[in-house]
Structure 1
Amino acid sequence: MATVPFAGTTLMMAPSAKAADAATIVAKNQQDVARIEDYLNAITTLKADFVQISSDGGSAKGTLYMQRPGKMRFEYDPPSQILLVATGHDFIYYDKEINAPTYFDIDETPAGLILDDNVSLSRDVNIVDFRKTAETIRVKLVRKSDPGAGDVTLVFQDNPMQLRQWVVDDATGIETTVTLFNAEEGMKLDQKLFEFKRIWIGNGN
């Protein structure tokens, strides 16, 4: 079973996730925070290959499709039987093998952080860690209203800016890293990618 890369329901809040600390981080990195917001808000569509690795030993790969606002699809390569679809309202984790979908409110998942119509790194979320190197920027985010509902670190390539990776830590200590390759932006995507239909199993009666 694949670890859900963007739909954890109980993720740990870092001890440093205090409003005062977050305000200080934003103030110190205001220019880069604004650049990240501008970049994310400018994304209309994105397609990329991905590799997913979990600290519990799980791994998978596939293709990611994203359309802002609100829509995302993780199409896993065989032998994985998992499908993840954000329809604009729900975030659905679907195990094809047992025909069992699980529904999340997208606003309660880390995915909602980058799928918002207007991405802001200060309005609804706190930045609890910000690290910049010569080539990358790493931003760790939690929601102000319910920090226990999500903890995600976004990793960007800098100059030119591009989303390259995210890391989700869950309450059990398992870390799931999703790395993007061959990313393309701005293409037209088939809207059927963001629809969810069960694969009905049985004799048809």
Structure 2
Amino acid sequence: MTLFSKNPQSRLKMIGKKGRSFIAAGVIASAIGLGAVGSIAMLPSPAHAQSSEKISPEMIAKIENYLANITTLKAEFVQISSDGGAAEGDLYMERPGKMRFEYNPPAQILLVSTGHDFIYYDKEINAPTYFDIDETPAGIILAENISLTDKVNVVDFRQTAETIRVELVRKSDPGAGSVTLVFQEKPMQLRQWNVTDPTGIETTVTLFNTEEGMTLDPELFKFERVWPKRGS
């Protein structure tokens, strides 16, 4: 049995009254991670475990080349937080610069990168929030020129018979949290990422039924705020 099942037996559902607040915090944590979350408060930096293995230049190049060669990707995802929240939905990605997280109902959340802006949108209150994509883990994956050494440092690397795990922190603010990318090696495929914020809360996004190289509708990566009709 592999670590990542392609057909999970059951789907996670929103957890009680924590649902909406978890989605809001979890979406931002899982997508923003390196940088923005660290501005919440002056908190002690999490301790990063030293690598049990040293990542080789060849492995860095292998990961960079794999990510750079992704043109499009779609997958189902499950998001779990160490504080007890869970959600699910669909992910769409088109490199460079474009990504969409569509959360399943009852969540009223959309996360979309248009190629210019990275937007967290709460449909229920019609409130978009804009972020700099370069300050997000998504920025690492969506960059036109993929690099695991330019703006980030590898602080932990672990390889098993099935997976490759690479933990990264941003060079400009290593105390702002970390993101761990998890790949299936044979064949090489992005399967999961884990964001740890400065408080130690972990948000894990796991991908299922991943497909790559298909044509995606350009409308997926557009954002238009929906205004209520006058008089309604």
Scaled by the length of structure 2, what TM-score is found? 0.79
Q: 1:113 aligns with which of 120, 128, 140?
A: 140
SS in 1 for 2:128: strand
Q: Which residue of 2 aligns with 1:161?
A: 188
Q: Evaluate the alpha carbon distance shift between residue 179 and residue 58 of structure 1 in structure 2; reply closer, same or farther with a 3 A threshold.
A: same
- Structure 1 pair 13–47 and aligned structure 2 pair: CA distance change class (3 A): farther
92-101 vs 168-177, which moves further: 168-177
Secondary structure of 1:118's counterpart equals coil
Q: CA deviation at 1:25?
A: 3.5
| Distance in 1 of aligned mates of 2:213 and 2:231 | 41
* Counterpart for residue 183 of structure 1: 210
Q: Is the 8 A contact 2:89 2:102 kept in 1?
A: yes
Matching residue of 1:7 = 32
Cα contact 1:13–1:151 (8 A) shared by 2 = no
Alpha-carbon offset, residue 109 of structure 1: 1.1
Change (3 A) 1:189 1:148: farther
CA distance in 2, matches of 1:123, 1:54: 29
In 2: Cα distance, 1:77 partner to 1:202 partner? 25
Identity rate of aligned residues, in percent? 68
Amino acid at match of 2:159: K
Say whether 1:75 aligns with 2:131. no
Distance 1:197 1:71 in 2: 15
Matched residue SS, 1:35: helix
Q: Which amino acid aligns with 1:129?
A: D
Per the alignment, do residues 156 and 204 of structure 1 end up closer, same or farther by CA in structure 2, a change over 3 Å counting?
A: farther
Amino acid at match of 1:74: F
Question: What is the SS of the residue equivalent to 2:121?
Answer: strand
Alpha carbons 2:119, 2:131 under 8 Å: kept: yes
For structure 1, the 5+ residue unaligned runs are none
Cα distance between partner residues in 2 of 1:181 and 1:78 = 18
Instruction: Give, in whole Å, the separation in 1 of the partners of 2:174 and 2:198.
Output: 12
Which deviates more, 103-112 or 3-12?
3-12
| CA RMSD, 1 decimal | 2.1
Q: Pairwise mapping of residues 78-157 of structure 1 onto structure 2 (< 5 A)?
A: 78-149=105-176, 151-157=178-184
Among 35, 47, 64, the alignment partner of 2:91 is 64
Is contact 1:45–1:67 with CA below 8 Å preserved after alignment? yes
- How far did 1:197 drift? 1.2
Q: Per the alignment, in what secondary structure is the counterpart of residue 193 of structure 1?
A: helix
Q: CA deviation at 1:125?
A: 1.2
Distance 1:137 1:163, change over 3 A: same
Structure 1 residue 35 and structure 2 residue 62: aligned? yes
Question: What residue in structure 1 maps to residue 226 of structure 2?
Answer: 199
Compute the TM-score of the two structures, normalised by the length of structure 1.
0.89
Shift, 1:162, TM fit: 0.3
Greater strand proportion: 1
Structure 2: gaps (5+ residues): 1-19, 39-43
